[in-house]
Amino acid sequence: MKIPFVDLYAQYQTIKGDIDFAIESVIAQSAYIGGNYVSKFEKDYEAWLPAKHIISCANGTDSLEIILKAWNIGKGDEVIVPAMTWISTAEAVSNVGATPVFADVDSAYYTILPEEITAKITKNTKAIIPVHLYGQCANMPEIMKIARVNNLKVLEDCAQAHGAEIDGVRAGLWGDAASFSFYPGKNLGSYGDAGCITTNDDELFEMCKIITNHGQKGKHNHLIVGRNSRMDGMQAAILSAKLPNLDQWNNSRNEKGIYYNSNIDPEKYGLPQLRENSKHVFHIYSLVCKNRNYVVNELNNAGISTAVHYPTELPATKVYQSSEVFPNSKHMANHNLSIPIYPEMTIEQLDYVIDILNKI
Ligand SMILES: *Cc1c(COP(=O)(O)O)cnc(C)c1O
């Protein structure tokens, strides 16, 4: 049996009619940039989340950077980010001229530790970017308390967590603003690059709109130096066509994650832990291996693809070169392994992965 890490074509086949119709409609109307499909997706996503404002943009990395810029965060400012996340979280901070300050993550839930945030706050700290890594929410109730006491902004990086919840509140609705990515492999993925910003703050909404659209408020009225960051019509139409399936896909990922947890041998692997009162949407299912290379090889020989998220904790990358040690993030970088999980996986495929893992 061959099991890819993700199977985007399998998903396309389940919704082919809707996707083909969406693409044909965009072409028939030449609605490539701006227009109906983009505003429709913004409305659809607003209603789904539900949030007051959605600002679509070109990708998830841009959405982080645009929010920071709209808050006027830049040179001399510090933003606290987890040491274990995709590079975008820190990169966005660096790209606005501010300094990412790393905090270690929880060894059980893999998200930024509130006490580590508190320890990293200085007079220059302006914001915190919690990441809902792998599809499970960070400890938002605690993070929001710390932020309010210290007068810091909270920007949730929801790139891996469309639909995740904690205490009955969805990722993206806790902070002052949130960023989503619609990279093809994400829980809601386009057929190219796309992203969005969400906020309930009217002023921030206006500012983000202006920044994404060349600093314009209305045509040719350039107020500030902006940029071009837009979602194209084709991606918007595809995302609107896919959105009605998202809750069901997330439920399926959640069930599959729990199935893995109940069937993979816990003597052999560290299994992901689920927070109480929360919903994990398993963008990634990550195991802890004693000898990762060996496991990767055995799975590969059995036709099962894997990935590592991520092989280096950000402070240890060449770009950030910090001498500080982040033990939990470092342990993840050396031992965590992502195995296939996607809504279209069959029970036979899941059982096969479990069987091979338990025989290693
Ligand atoms: C995917 C991802 C991003 C960036 O998304 P792009 O759309 O690829 O720019 C940001 N943060 C995290 C945690 C991600 O996983």
**In this predicted structure, what is the pLDDT of residue 119?**
98
The residue whose CB lies within 8 Å of the most ligand 1 atoms, and thus the one to mutate among 160, 188, 235, 338, is 160
Q: Report in angstroms the alpha-carbon separations of 136 from 5, 73, 84, 319, 359.
A: 19, 27, 14, 27, 28
Give the whole-angstrom CA distance, residue 169 versus residue 141.
Answer: 10
pLDDT tens-digit profile of 27-79?
Answer: 999 999 999 999 999 999 999 999 999 999 999 999 999 999 999 999 999 99
What residue's CA is closest to ligand 1, atom 14?
Answer: 159
Q: Does domain 8-244 have CATH number 3.40.640.10?
A: yes
Ligand 1 centroid from CA 213, angstroms: 21
Long-range contacts of 343-348 (CB under 8 A, 24+ apart): 343/11, 343/248, 343/249, 343/252, 343/253, 343/256, 344/7, 344/10, 344/11, 344/14, 345/3, 345/7, 345/256, 348/1
Sequence spans of domains, the chain: 8-244, 246-359
Q: What is the mean pLDDT of residues 117-121?
A: 98
What percentage of residues in the chain have a pLDDT greater than 90?
A: 99
Ligand 1 centroid from CA 267, angstroms: 33
Q: Where are the beta strands (DSSP E) in the chain?
A: 53-57, 78-82, 99-103, 125-128, 153-157, 165-166, 169-170, 177-181, 195-199, 278-279, 285-288, 336-339
pLDDT tens-digit profile of 233-284?
Answer: 999 999 999 999 999 999 999 999 999 999 999 999 999 999 999 999 999 9
Q: What is the mean pLDDT of residues 164-192?
A: 98
332's enclosing H/E stretch is: helix 327-335
**In this predicted structure, what is the pLDDT of residue 19?**
98
Q: Does domain 246-359 have CATH number 3.90.1150.10?
A: yes
pLDDT tens-digit profile of 4-34?
Answer: 999 999 999 999 999 999 999 999 999 999 9
Closest by CA position to 264, among listed 129, 128, 359, 134: 359
**In this predicted structure, what is the pLDDT of residue 338?**
98
Ligand 1 centroid from CA 185, angstroms: 10
DSSP type of residue 168: T
**In this predicted structure, what is the pLDDT of residue 137?**
98
What residue's CA is closest to ligand 1, atom 10?
Answer: 88
Q: Is 2 helix (H, G, I), strand (E, B) or coil?
A: coil
What percentage of residues in the chain have a pLDDT greater than 70?
A: 100
Ligand 1 centroid from CA 82, angstroms: 14
pLDDT tens-digit profile of 206-231?
Answer: 999 999 999 999 999 999 999 999 99
Q: For ligand 1, what atom is nearest to the CA of residue 133?
A: 13
